[in-house]
Structure 1
Amino acid sequence: MTQTMENATANRVPEVTLDFWLIKLMAVTMGETAADYLAVNLGFGLTATSLIMAAILVGALVLQFGQRAYVPWSYWLSVVLISIVGTLITDNLVDNFHVSLITATLGFSLALAATFALWFASEHTLSIHRVFTFRREAFYWLAILFTFALGTAAGDMVAELFGLGYLATGVLFGMIIASLGLGYAFLGLDPILGFWLAYILTRPLGASFGDLLSQPSQYGGLGLGTIVTSALFLAAIIGLVAYMSLTKLATDSSAEKALHQRP
């Protein structure tokens, strides 16, 4: 009975494809640069920026939870906003409350582990292919939020506290993600574990390259600035979401047509 219900109910999150990882990587890169632009360049400050973006995120999540299937624009709008808010949470803890990056990294690791433990205890699965109820989607988005906050803290810890710099940090996390891909392909790495580890690690990977592009040369960056960097990645995200929407529309139309043609 349960299996029948799962098959008959549409998943509310996308399949994990190359498009998924491309847009996710760009979303986290934009999350880093957009948070810096709003808080620093526009002069809002961390507190005001955090409150404004959190309110916008709540509105986006209300729209997302109102969907009964995966809708690209609604889903990825939430991802971009939660990327910005996750960055701001970590920045607030470190800059305003003087929490060390090591403590923040450990704290968000524990929070994420607790989220997964409660999710599994409640639903008996952590699969992203079966997110079709309010409770599962709530656990999913809470986990996403903690992955962004954790990734921000871990990336800043390696790049700034440990002194590797933006480029070396990006390369390091890219190599770790590549090793996870090899582990999944050849060594039998659990796909759910591999997915969530890669999801966490793409945050510092994207943020490192976002900082590399946007920060001034005296801080180890290329000096493009947060406005240009954010605009470039926002345009790429919009283009990919439009492509995903058209592809999904064509797929849904083909499936519906095939269903009506059955004898």
Structure 2
Amino acid sequence: MHTTPNDLSLNTWLNKVPEITLIFWVIKMMSTTVGETAADYLSFHLHVGMINTSIIMGILLLVALLVQLKQTRYRPYAYWGVVVLISIFGTLVTDILTDKLDVPLPVSTAVFSLLLAATFAYWFSKERTLSIHSIVTLKRELFYWLAILITFALGTAVGDWVSEDMNVGYGLSALIFGGLITVISVAFYRFKANAVLCFWLAYILTRPLGASIGDLLSQPVRKGGFGFGTTSTSIVFLVIIVALVAYLSVRAKQQKSQ
């Protein structure tokens, strides 16, 4: 599910989202891990509280989104800044529904699935495409970010439902979601399955995969984790994300100058 660097058309340069490469998926998965661990750290370890953390993250997300919307083309720092913040905010939305409002995870999963389907249906009815290779207008970009937010909330609900409610555990959950993503990749590359469908399914599943990996690394051994802690896990993954985004920024400048 990626495009080649040589496949650069006018739309590629005007497009507001990145090419779908291996680096894209690595950063996406790590951002979900950061979202999971950072949300827990801010809410519980700093004693900010889930509601206050959500308000703070919501404001930061709005600012980052405005910066992204003002860009005339894809810029790695602006795009991935929104993704990291939206991963934290999307996690908090589901956590509030579960922990504060006592909404069962299966219900949250069903509701977010319906919301995502409705978003795609309305997006397609207006634009006649769901392709991420043509995010070249403000309307399409707003549809895109709305869908991204819902996928993070949905992925959080699915991940928590499987790993916690079903008592599957973090390690096995990571294997399950990683296996499902592998199946989607095989369907796309081997059997030429629909690219748009495969992308969005993989995008949804990388959320619980990243969350499971984050929990596996950060949670204490007595809870089935490796015990590295939320702080260490968040910092390491955030440093890797920053390094990869810096690399993408340099590469984008080099490609533009050619």
State the Cα distance separating 1:186 from its structure 2 match: 1.2
TM-score where L is the length of structure 2? 0.95
Equivalent residues of 2:11, 2:133 under 8 A apart: no
Matching residue of 1:193: 197
Residue 237 to residue 7, structure 1, CA distance change in 2 (3 Å): closer
4+ residue runs over 3 A deviation: 6-9
Alignment pair present for 1:236 and 2:228: no
Provide the rounded CA distance (Å) in 2 between the counterparts of 1:117 and 1:219.
41
Equivalent residues of 1:9, 1:132 under 8 A apart: no
Provide the rounded CA distance (Å) in 2 between the counterparts of 1:114 and 1:232.
37
Matching residue of 2:208: 204
Matching residue of 1:3: none
Out of 243, 246, 249, the residue aligned to residue 253 of structure 2 is 249
Alignment pair present for 1:96 and 2:103: no
Q: Highest Rg: 1 or 2?
A: 1
Out of 141, 145, 150, the residue aligned to residue 146 of structure 1 is 150
Out of 22, 32, 36, the residue aligned to residue 36 of structure 2 is 32
Provide the rounded CA distance (Å) in 2 between the counterparts of 1:232 and 1:119.
36
User: Unmatched 5+ residue regions in structure 1?
Assistant: 1-5, 255-263
TM-score where L is the length of structure 1? 0.93
RMSD over aligned CA atoms reads 1.2
Out of 228, 232, 245, the residue aligned to residue 224 of structure 1 is 228
Provide the rounded CA distance (Å) in 2 between the counterparts of 1:243 and 1:41.
32
SS of equivalent residue, structure 1 residue 129: helix
Equivalent residues of 2:177, 2:205 under 8 A apart: yes
Out of 177, 180, 183, the residue aligned to residue 184 of structure 2 is 180
User: Unmatched 5+ residue regions in structure 2?
Assistant: 1-9
Percentage of matched positions with identical amino acids: 53
Matching residue of 1:261: none
Provide the rounded CA distance (Å) in 2 between the counterparts of 1:8 and 1:236.
26
State the Cα distance separating 1:196 from its structure 2 match: 0.2
The residue type equivalent to 1:184 in the other structure is: F
Out of 64, 69, 84, the residue aligned to residue 65 of structure 1 is 69
Provide the rounded CA distance (Å) in 2 between the counterparts of 1:8 and 1:28.
26
State the Cα distance separating 1:218 from its structure 2 match: 1.2
State the Cα distance separating 1:193 from its structure 2 match: 0.2
Out of 171, 174, 179, the residue aligned to residue 167 of structure 1 is 171
Q: Deviations over 1:187-241 (max 9, x none)?
A: 1210000000000000000000100001111111111111000000000000000
State the Cα distance separating 1:117 from its structure 2 match: 0.5
**Length, aligned pairs only:** 250
The residue type equivalent to 2:60 in the other structure is: I
Provide the rounded CA distance (Å) in 1 between the counterparts of 2:131 and 2:51.
35
SS of equivalent residue, structure 1 residue 177: helix
